[in-house]
Structure 1
């Protein structure tokens, strides 16, 4: 994999030709949900007097919560009472779903990319650490229920992200090669999972600092799906015959 900050982004996708599939994380990748998760965690943790009642800041959220599975979050927030942590995370997810129902918005350019993928008949999967009710609500709200061929949850696997298991399971279900598939992710945990599964990962800076994401070794970073770096890479794939358009 070519690792770059974006200047040579097209090169990092050359080796994937012909592309067979595209995999997506959900939170922060299909929709910018980190602000909603952050708000829910901050408010609910303050209510129970976590950290002596001092609200958590974004740095704490990014380091300890963003992109992680709730089992891991529970262990971090409540190291001496895991069961309480699990219950807290369940309650927090219910609050998140209430917020998301009214405030969820797609990442800029998502539907443009969706059309590019559909026009070329590529297989696609959503691969997420989110609980099933969250994942289903977000995908449905965004109008993507019929877009994805499968949805793989971290809880479906022996290990959630940052382990590669969820991405390896998606490859198996879609019956595609890791050498013909690329991934969109927005968290360090997710990028590490995709890279560990042997795939090229395009990182989105929707919620996490670029310097942290680069430490996880994505192929390159984009701001959103309107980013010229992304479309330069996709157009180059088209030019070299890296994807095959299906008949209209």
Structure 2
């Protein structure tokens, strides 16, 4: 099987090349209603709060559907799964949150590594083309960013995404001046779920993990945050609530407008002022 060309010509007849995917239609098939969100969780133990670290994909913006569409169509193009398109459950369980080098082993174990990485690079090109047309921030993101700035908290973006993706998404969200530090897993010894990217962010900001928490939407990201000594607020943007809680999320929210989040933020501010 030949290496995919860098050109996107093989996808010119693909529906996603001509119209925007219906993002709201992307939904998990994994049941989560039987596993309630822990609404009593509290983050007040980390007060006084010094910093907040943010993942990018699925945490700042609802980008997982675009990754799913790109992987679905490109994997089908090469005959993966006998040519049957992957479904959302497969994407959530096997792809979401993983670094591209790991995905080479998961999805294309029989390919030479260079060829598999070329496939991943082409997939990211398609993803960026889709993202440039329709990316939207997670609801309430601007309010949280303003709250962080008003309090003078330190902040960093920490991602497994390649540099081109991270720069595009942060630029489209107009957060270039918001983040003091951007940590790329590809520039660390190990990506998430290892703690290396988050430990690098803590070191760069010169803050303690005892007074910092993380916003994450994936299992690998939550495990990385916990391994670095920090609690994680799970963003149930697309991944099931149960999955995030089992991974170790201290609290799971639907978006940045969730009352549970603001209750916790206000408690931390009140506790800081009382110290």
TM over 0.5: yes
Answer whether contact 1:19 1:242 (CA < 8 A) is retained: no
- Count of residue pairs the alignment pairs up: 239
Distance 2:267 2:46 in 1: 12
Whether 1:200 and 2:231 are equivalent positions in the alignment is yes
Q: Kindly indicate whether structure 1 or structure 2 has the higher relative contact order, using CA contacts under 8 Å at least 6 residues apart.
A: 1
Answer whether contact 2:99 2:191 (CA < 8 A) is retained: yes
Aligned to 1:70: 100
Question: How big is the alpha-carbon RMSD for the aligned residues of Structure 1 and Structure 2?
Answer: 1.4
Whether 1:53 and 2:83 are equivalent positions in the alignment is yes
Q: Gapped runs of 5+ residues in structure 2? A: 1-35
Q: What whole-Å deviation, never above 9, does each CA across 1:49-97 have from its counterpart, x for those lacking one?
A: 1111000011111111100000001111110112221111100000000
Aligned to 2:23: none
Q: Which structure: larger Rg?
A: 2
Q: What whole-Å deviation, never above 9, does each CA across 1:148-199 have from its counterpart, x for those lacking one?
A: 0010011111100000000000000000000010000000010000011010
1:174 aligns with one of 205, 210, 213: 205
Q: With structure 2 as the length reference, what TM-score do the two structures score?
A: 0.85
Q: With structure 1 as the length reference, what TM-score do the two structures score?
A: 0.94
Aligned to 1:152: 183
Distance 2:248 2:185 in 1: 21
Aligned to 2:12: none
Answer whether contact 1:6 1:229 (CA < 8 A) is retained: no
Q: Gapped runs of 5+ residues in structure 1? A: none
The alpha carbon displacement at 1:122 in A equals 0.3
1:18 aligns with one of 31, 43, 48: 48
User: Which runs of structure 1 show a deviation greater than 3 angstroms over 4 or more consecutive aligned residues?
Assistant: none
In structure 2, the residue corresponding to 1:27 is in which secondary structure?
Answer: coil
